[in-house]
Amino acid sequence: MISNRLTELLGIDHPVVCAPMGSVSGGRLTSAVTRAGGLGLVGVSYGDAAFIDEHVAEAAEAGGVWGVGCVMFTFDDRPGLWDKVLGYAPPVVALSFGDAAQVHKYVASATDAGSRVVVQVHDPEQARVAVQAGASVLVAQGAEAGGHHRTLATLPLIPAVVEVTQGEVPVVAAGGFADGRGLAAALALGADGVMMGTRFAATEESLATTGFKSRLVSARTADTIRTHAFDVVRGIPWPAGHPARSIGNDFTRTWTGRDAELTAQRATVEPEWAAAVARDDTSQRAMFAGEVLDLIQDIQPAAQVVHSTVSEAEEILAGLNQRINGRTSTA
């Protein structure tokens, strides 16, 4: 078992976090990860009341150490939904994609409600803001991640964020992690755990559709593309500089790089696109996935993902010690 500041602070057994992926990380997946000893997070994302009442309620009923992931800038436009989330008393609230004022506001509110607050950051300056705001944990997300991200790669980002925290706040690495090799690497870089999205999307308990899960297994990393097309067609005003990594398909090939045209034609395109999503048409639907697709070979139970990640990391770390000591002794 890997015990450190993260596991002790949150009261979890393993330093493995399920990313709060909207429409993928529901109550069932969250509860499965939590029961396995990791941290499960319901992906509330854009603040849908019905989704909150179904999936946050399910996670709350299952109990343990679980949480809710919220995209900050979207909650400002949905009065009442933030209070609805906090009404379920989540032990952990994970915040992402907000400006400095929003980080301070939502961290303070969640802390006052009794939650541990996790804040996702993409560069050292955002890390400084989150620490100043009182975040309990930072998630350093690199550009290898699926879904929305910024530009800095995970490998140099992790130690840069760790330096900002000066050891006072645990850091979770995100973007490019799917197994124990990644966890071992993150720990070596100074992080206290990993957040995995694509690997947990490809689990039995995730809300990903049959078609989406099939593509997660069959697609490769080279098939991913960074695009704004799915945000434009959905009418979601993501700030500039936040593309989303998705498995490429006919829709991205048609519309990526044509944001203005898609905006102008949205009234016509969106109904047809929504109908395609409803029938799980993978040539059209969004399939957010990270650069770990080359490592995704099957659909697994969430508990198996948690346990295999930790056990593999333990073996790797022990093996590294043996290799280093062995080479030293024969030098």
Give tens-digit pLDDT for 105-128: 999 999 999 999 999 999 999 999
CATH for 5-208? 3.20.20.70
Q: What is the mean pLDDT of residues 129-143?
A: 98
pTM of the prediction?
A: 0.94
What pLDDT is attached to residue 144? Answer: 97
pLDDT digits (tens, 9 = 90+) for 255-306: 999 999 999 999 999 999 999 999 999 999 999 999 999 999 999 999 999 9
Residues spanned by CATH 3.20.20.70 within the chain? 5-208
Q: Quick check: 171 and 158 in contact, CB under 8 A?
A: yes
Torsions phi, psi for 278 (to 5 deg):
-60, -30
pLDDT digits (tens, 9 = 90+) for 179-214: 999 999 999 999 999 999 999 999 999 999 999 999
Q: How confident is the model at residue 326 (pLDDT cuts 50, 70, 90)?
A: low
Report whether pLDDT(321) > 80.
no
Q: Quick check: 211 and 160 in contact, CB under 8 A?
A: no
The residues near 75 (Cβ < 8 Å, ≥ 6 apart) are: 47, 81, 82, 106
For the chain, what percentages of helix, strand and coil (3-state, to nearest 5) are there?
Answer: 50, 15, 35
Report whether pLDDT(329) > 60.
no
Burial of 166 (0-12, 13-18, 19+ CB in 10 A): exposed
Which residue, among 133, 131, 42, 31, has the nearest Cα to 93 in the 3D structure? 42
Higher-pLDDT residue of 238 and 310 is 310
What pLDDT is attached to residue 227? Answer: 96
C-alpha to C-alpha distances, 308 to 228, 312, 323, nearest whole angstrom: 34, 6, 22
